[in-house]
Structure 1
Amino acid sequence: MWIVELSFTDAPERLAARPAHREKLTDLHEKGVVRMAGPLADDSGAVLVFDVPDRAALDQLLAEDPYFSTKGVRVERLREWQPFIR
């Protein structure tokens, strides 16, 4: 699994792109690819957990969603995660 940490600014482009992004994440969640996703309580960023086999698969998913390169959204960190409880 992979944890993606985002940071946000108040750029209006981010808010405009968010509905389509959430729709895409919901679809990926239904397919078991996104395990969890959501904004931090203060809306300064978000955390997403992807269940994909490797970094290449994660990079492809991030490239397919324009939200991750939208003004006001920054991918701060990508971390491989190995949970022992699922």
Structure 2
Amino acid sequence: MWLVELSFTDAPERLAARPAHREKLAALHEKGRVRMAGPLADDSGAVLVFDVPDRAALDQLLGEDPYYSTEGVRVEQLREWRPILG
């Protein structure tokens, strides 16, 4: 699995792009590729958990969603995660 940490600014482009991004996340969740996703409580960013086999697969999914390169959205970290519970 992969953890993706985002940071946000108040750029209006981010809010405009969010509905389409959330639709993409919902579709990926139905396919089992996104386990969890959501904003931080203070809306300064978000954390997403992707269930994909490798970094190439993660990069492909991120590249297919323009939200990750939208003004006001920054990908802060991509980290491989190996949960032992859940």
Deviations 1:14-39 (A, max 9, x none): 00000000000000001100000000
Q: Letter of the 2:80 partner, please give it.
A: E
What residue is the counterpart of 1:10 in the other structure?
Answer: 10
What residue is the counterpart of 1:77 in the other structure?
Answer: 77
Q: Which runs of no fewer than 5 residues in structure 2 stay unpaired?
A: none
What is the rounded CA distance, in whole Å, between the counterparts of 1:62 and 1:31 in structure 2? 15
What residue is the counterpart of 2:33 in the other structure?
Answer: 33
- Alignment: residue pair count: 86
TM-score for the superposition, normalised by structure 1: 0.99
CA RMSD of aligned residues (A): 0.3
Partner of 2:82, secondary structure, is coil
Q: Letter of the 1:9 partner, please give it.
A: T
TM-score for the superposition, normalised by structure 2: 0.99
